[in-house]
Amino acid sequence: MIHNGLKELIEANSDELTGLRRRFHREPEVSWEEFKTTQFICEYLDGLGIPYRRTEPTGVIAEIAGGKAGNTVALRGDMDALQVEELNTDLPYASLESGKMHACGHDAHTAMLLIAAKALNEIKEELPGNVRLLFQPAEEIAEGAKMLVEQGAMEGVDNVFGIHIWSQMPTHKVSCTPGPSFASADIFKVIFKGKGGHGAMPHDCIDAAVVASSFVMNVQSVVSRTIDAQHPAVLTIGKMTVGTRFNIIAENALIEGTVRCFNPETRDHIEEQLQHYAENTAAIYGAGARVEYIRGTRAVNNDEYSAQLVQKVASEAFGEDVLFNEKPTMGAEDFSIYLDRAPGSFALVGSGNPEKDTEWAHHHGKFNIDEDALSTGAELYAQYAWAYLNEKL
């Protein structure tokens, strides 16, 4: 199932792989600002002779045409950084951009996909089909995948595969199970309208702070008391803005939060309940309420065939003990947008190593990866493409 030549090519380019990752880490670019990264990818692909086109405003879609007719498999690597201050300032490749860093591993994803592309390009005459390379911007704000799809990323694609470096798993381990992997992610805002006035005369007012506080305390029962416990969900209030001065009764309150779940019916139910709780809480106090519910990414659900193929490829490439059963996470991923267009799967590659201090949570200022995991990810990209195209002959 695996191609030994790909393994040898990945190993031969391991130093370059590490160098690429460190280059991207030193020069992080946040969502929709990945101009230097996009330019570098284009220049790298030019050097390999792989045709590509830029997407607007950032991002790249490239394609390796196989020497034989067949299906098309897409490999996705995201490339945006975060507005996080790097705390690992002693690293030789620490971020050079104040307030920005690759705190989620997208620098690794881009580097791994480039080296996988380099290896696949070397054996392209043997490929029974085509490999599309998706270098995606703006994953961190869940907009990049939608943009790439709108600009033709999934046209003619039969299967799609993505990887995320995962600090909560031991280095080299691979997890890809059928079914839910990442949760859906929605944003909501609740605006309460009361009646302001002097803090010494509450009887003449409708205190929006009291209304909002009551809502915050009660809305958690949506999850704990109205949803089947077999369907996990998270409802988080992340921000509350209320009042203007210590002695003024607040007239307005704004609450912002997020909803995470895996089940579409659960998602619909929570949206309905947020409206219900907001309106009825406001009614108790004689206030008004308005709810804005913004649907974000859908849950990432791995196709059974594709996930099992990842497991087979990983076992044959790295040994059966490489497989790891990571539980689904309430984190979100816009990879789900690709899965709306074609079957596929999304794998996690472990990079957590306590001896190298790489077990910090994603999005933390001390996040880093064990670079020994890079070759695992690059080879998994390449070997999956090879295995899928050959299985679909």
Residue 97 in marked binding region: no
User: What does the DSSP 8-state code read for residue 126?
Assistant: G
Distances in Å between the alpha carbon of 139 and those of 104, 181, 245, 288?
11, 16, 38, 36
Residue 109 in marked binding region: no
Q: What CA–CA distance (Å, rounded) separates 239 from 250?
A: 16
Encode pLDDT of 266-286 as tens digits. Answer: 999 999 999 999 999 999 999
Asked whether the predicted pLDDT for residue 392 surpasses 90, the reply is no
Q: Which residues are catalytic?
A: 80, 139
Q: What CA–CA distance (Å, rounded) separates 233 from 80?
A: 27
| pLDDT reported for residue 374 | 98
Encode pLDDT of 102-149 as tens digits. Answer: 999 999 999 999 999 999 999 999 999 999 999 999 999 999 999 999
Residue 364 in marked binding region: no
CATH architecture of 184-297: 2-Layer Sandwich (3.30)
Do residues 220 and 154 touch, judged by C-beta distance below 8 A?
no
Encode pLDDT of 34-83 as tens digits. Answer: 999 999 999 999 999 999 999 999 999 999 999 999 999 999 999 999 99
> Domains of the chain: which residue ranges?
4-181+299-391, 184-297
Residue 140 in marked binding region: yes
Residue 172 in marked binding region: no
CATH architecture of 4-181+299-391: 3-Layer(aba) Sandwich (3.40)
Question: What Rg do the C-alpha atoms of the chain give, in angstroms?
Answer: 24
User: What does the DSSP 8-state code read for residue 30?
Assistant: B
3 state SS of 324: coil
Do residues 142 and 319 touch, judged by C-beta distance below 8 A?
no
